[in-house]
Every structure is written in C-alpha cells, then in structure tokens.
Amino acid sequence: MNTPDTARTAPSPAPPRKPLMPLDEALSNLLDRAAAATPLACETVATWDADGRVLAQDLIAELEVPGFDNSAMDGYAVRLSDLLHAGAEASFEVSQRVAAGAAGDAPLASGTVARIFTGAPVPPGADAVVIQEDSVVDADGRVRFTAEPRAGQNIRRAGEDVARGQAVLEAGQRLSAAHLGLAASIGAARLTVCRKPRVALLSTGDELAMPGEVAPADLPRGGVFNSNRFFLRALLQRLGCEVTDLGIVPDRLEATRQTLAKAARDHDVIVTSGGVSVGEEDHVKPAVQALGSLELWQVAIKPGKPFAYGRVRRDASAAGLDDAAHFIGLPGNPVSSYVTGLVLLRPFLLRLQGRRDIVVQALPATARFTWDAPDPKRREFLRVRLDASGALERHAHQGSGVLTSVAWADGLVDNPAGQTIAPGDVVRFLPFSAFLD
Ligand code: AMP
Ligand code: MG
C-alpha cells in the first residue's frame, strides 16, 4: 500500500501566514464561478422519471385546475333560494344524479336537488352541496335537510388550485414527489430539466484500502479504509450529479496529474478528497497548479480548512464544455470532507445546475451543552443531535477524524469563531436533512 515516493521534494520554507478566507467570501466566490460557467444543456424526461431533477424552464399551465366547479363531498347539490323559500321542514325531489366523471351539464331544475358525489361537476344553477350526513331520504325518495347550507358550501371552484397561464413550477426548482404530482395535474407528461453535472470523484492517499479488497483483520498498521469515497459518492448522487468514480490515486505528483488531466476531459467537475493540505505528500494542489489554476485555498472553518477550488484545462473542442473543468479539493479528514461537502461543494453544484433555493436556513435552537474552547479564528460546525424537547446535544468527540459524530448527528451548529456556548444559549442549527432536499 505504501507506494515508494519518487516525487518527494525538499520542504520549502513556510511562507508568511495570511489570514484565512472567511466562509461567506469563499462561498460567494464559488457561486460566482458556477454562475459564470456555460449553463448545462437541457433535456426532456418523462415526468415519471423526473424525481430529483432540476427544472430548466418554467412550467406553465394550459388549463385551470380544477377544470370545473365540483363537489368536495358526497351529498346533494341544491339551489339555496329554493331551500329558503320552502322552509326547514320541506322535502325535495331528486331530479338528477351526478357521479365523478359525468359531464354534469344539465341545469338543476328549479325546486329540486341533485344527488352528487365527490369530484362530480356541480350542475349549473346549484350553489351549495349539503353533505349526505345532513340529509334524510324519505320513504317516497324525496330528501330533507337537517342543516342550513351556506352559499358555495362544499363546492371546489374552477381554477382555485391553478389558473390558466400560471407558472406552477419555476426554472431552478428541484423536483420532488409533490412537484411531480403537480406537473401531472396540469397534464405535463414530460419535463424539461437540466442535464446532470458529470462529476469525477477521486480519493488520494497511499494509506487507503478498499472495503471488500482487504478484510478488516488484514488491514496493515498504517492502513485506513476509504470512507470518504463512499459518502462523497452518495452525497454527489443526492445532489443531482452523475458520478464517475476514479478510485484511489497514489500520493505521487505524476500519477495525480495524469488522473486529473484524464478526468478533466469529459467531466464538468473533479472532486478529490485528501492531498490538499500543506504536507509534502499533498500532491493535488501542485498538480492542479500545473494543469490549470488554483483559485482558492484554505477557508476559515473548522473542520474543513484545507478546501480548494481551481480549474483543470482541457481540450476545448469537447462539445458544449468550457475550456477547463472545475476542480474542488476536499480535505482528507472524513468529518472535514463531509462538512465541506455540505457547506461549500453542495451550493457550488446546485448553482451549476441553476438551482434557485440553495441557502440552508439556520434554525434557532437551544443548546443543552457546553462549548468552552472555541477556535479563535475559524467558524466552527459542531455535530449535534436534537433531543426529545427540540434542544441540541453535542457529540462528545468533535475531532475531524471522528466519523461516528456525523453518523450520530442530526445536523450542525454553525458557531462564530471564538464564541463559547453554555446550556440555554440559542445557537444556529443547520439540519442535515435541509442540505439534501
Ligand atoms: P490528507 O488530507 O490527505 O492529509 O488526509 C488527512 C487525514 O484524512 C489522514 O489521516 C488520512 O488518512 C485521512 N483520509 C484521507 N483520505 C481519506 C479517505 N478517503 N477515507 C478515510 N480517511 C481518509
Ligand atoms: Mg493524504
């Protein structure tokens, strides 16, 4: 597993420290770069298959929904003025029967009522529906009412859900179950969506072993199972990407260069984990610099400082692609990789897809824990869990290698640099579920 290092370089003197870039600045930089990229092409997919896709055009209704006034209940359609004139004890002839699916266009004869069922068109002239629980059918088949209806009662009006010409869904909307139903309700069988970004994923590290290839009992001292590869692939797929997994790249500059150059050819984005720190075994940064440019490196967050963004040049003749692929380097430490995956990689990928709703709103929540040694310079993201009362507990081990903290947590507390937390304090809670909507 420990590949001999042929490209080891002498340690260079440490450059003067400059302040790390604040998260908000890094994020707006990333979003600007995603917005400046050539938009991903559109494609149409069956509404059936559009779950999780991002709508590329406003979806306009060509009809109103409901298409006709219809009954919200099973009962009798009545003309209120007839009921008023006849008095409380009067009974009425049932002159017609309208079930769901009937045209229901015969006007209600005056002095009579219509038997009607949920979803059936209200006959012209009727202005309320009395539910059958408030109706009594006499032996002669005539109907009396035990409650006095209000005008319009139990009638669902034409167009009350959707107006003709209305944009029921807007471009940039990620489609989920309710949206597919709404699209179907206006008769849309196909939807125009954004093509999925093609993302190449690669892990760096000579220490990495693959589950399945090495048995846990055989993992040598110094070896680590590749966990990042598993959660990053799942995260990327949930964020709407088509992932090519390029496996593990050894800690050598030339191998890293070759893999990045190959990945750039036919991917929109290259995501790496590990190898972007300051050690001399960290070859990703110099490889990106050699193949393009490193435009952002190190962000003032904990965990997740060694985050990087850059471009890797490619042959611009590839149809519909910019002349460089985006490069996003995530830290190797699993928790750092996960957190930067959520707070930096996610918004970048969503903006690339034209998504509009990319900000995760922090919810105010009460801490049930103490945080008394905050990082003085970096904004921190603490792994926390909701208790039964809706307050937050903190995982005891906030180390950047402790992946159990992420699996245990319901989300993150977004804590300003230097801020201590005491039980009872209101903090900013970012639920994991909101990141993956
Ligand atoms: P690096 O950023 O490459 O210096 O890695 C930082 C730490 O994260 C080291 O302890 C690595 O062993 C660990 N690490 C890097 N990549 C992975 C990975 N894919 N899965 C699990 N741990 C990793
Ligand atoms: Mg490494």
Q: Is 70-156 a domain of CATH 3.90.1150.10? A: no
What is the C-alpha separation between 433 and 227, in angstroms, rounded? 21
Nearest by Cα to 200 from 283, 274, 271, 292: 271
Give the pLDDT score at 3: 45
Whether 233 has a pLDDT exceeding 60, the answer reads yes
Alpha carbon distances (Å) from 269 to 172, 319, 345, 349: 19, 16, 10, 9
- Span 360-398, pLDDT tens digits: 999 999 999 999 999 999 999 999 999 999 999 999 999
Q: For ligand 1, pick from 333, 336, 337, 403 the residue to mutate: most ligand atoms within 8 Å of CB.
A: 333
Q: What is the mean pLDDT of residues 176-195?
A: 98
Spacing, Cα 104 to ligand 1 middle (Å)? 69
Between the CA of 307 and the centroid of ligand 1 the distance, in Å, is: 13
CA of 208 relative to ligand 1 center, distance in Å: 8
Residue nearest to atom 23 of ligand 1 (CA): 332
Distance 250 CA to ligand 2 centre (A): 9
**Residue to mutate (ligand 1; options 206, 219, 224, 277; most atoms within 8 A of CB):** 224
Higher-pLDDT residue of 4 and 233 is 233
Is the CB–ligand 1 distance for residue 202 below 6 Å?
no
Highest CATH level, class, for 31-37+196-352: alpha beta
Q: Where in the chain is the domain with CATH 3.40.980.10?
A: 31-37+196-352
Residue 253 CB less than 6 A away from ligand 1: no
Return residue ranges of the chain for CATH 2.40.340.10: 363-435
Question: Average of pLDDT values for 257-286?
Answer: 96
Best mutation site among 2, 214, 233, 273 for ligand 1, i.e. most ligand atoms within 8 A of its Cβ?
273
pLDDT of 81 higher than 50: yes
Q: Which residue has the tokens 């910019």?
A: 322
- Determine the atom of ligand 1 nearest the C-alpha atom of 248: 19
Tell me which DSSP letter residue 134 carries: G
Give the separation between CA 341 and CA 57, rounded to whole angstroms. Answer: 28
Per residue in 134-148, pLDDT (tens digit) is 999 999 999 999 999
Flag whether pLDDT at 7 surpasses 50.
no
CATH 3.90.105.10, the chain: domain bounds: 41-65+161-194
Helices (H), ranges, 150-227 = 177-185
Instruction: Find out whether 120 and 99 touch, Cβ atoms under 8 Å.
Output: yes
> What is the C-alpha to C-alpha distance for residues 216 and 225, in angstroms, rounded to an integer?
9
**pLDDT band with cut points at 50, 70 and 90 for residue 18:** confident
Minimum CA distance residue for ligand 1 atom 15: 332
List the one residue out of 148, 144, 142 whose CA is nearest residue 95.
142
For ligand 1, what atom is nearest to the CA of residue 336?
8
Which residue would you say has higher pLDDT here, 15 or 36?
36
CATH 2.40.340.10 describes domain 363-435 = yes
- Per-residue model confidence (pLDDT) at position 325: 97
Task: Report the pLDDT averaged over residues 414-431.
Answer: 98
Q: Does residue 304's CB lie within 6 angstroms of at least one atom of ligand 1? A: no
The finding on whether 228 has its CB within 6 A of some atom of ligand 1 is: yes
Q: Which atom of ligand 1 is nearest to the CA of 279?
A: 4
Average pLDDT, integer, range 13-38: 90
Residue 335 CB–ligand 1 contact under 6 Å = no
Report d(CA 148, CA 134) in Å as an integer: 9
Residue 331: CB within 6 Å of ligand 1?
yes
Residues of the chain with CATH 2.170.190.11: 70-156
With a 6 Å cutoff on the Cβ, whether 256 touches ligand 1 is: no
**Nearest by Cα to 161 from 55, 58, 63, 50:** 63
pLDDT band at 9 (very low <50, low <70, confident <90, very high): low
Give tens-digit pLDDT for 287-308.
999 999 999 999 999 999 999 9
* Annotation: CATH topology of 41-65+161-194: Molybdopterin biosynthesis moea protein, domain 2 (3.90.105)
Task: Give, rounded to a whole angstrom, the gap between the first and last alpha carbons of the chain.
Answer: 38
> b/e per residue, 246-256, with b = 16+ CB within 10 A?
bebbbbbbebb
In short, whether 303's Cβ falls inside 6 Å of ligand 1 is no
Cβ of 337 less than 6 Å from ligand 1: no
pLDDT digits (tens, 9 = 90+) for 338-368: 999 999 999 999 999 999 889 999 999 999 9
| Cα–ligand 1 centroid distance for 129 (angstroms) | 67
Q: Which ligand is nearest to the CA of 274?
A: 1
- Which whole number is the average pLDDT over 87-115? 96
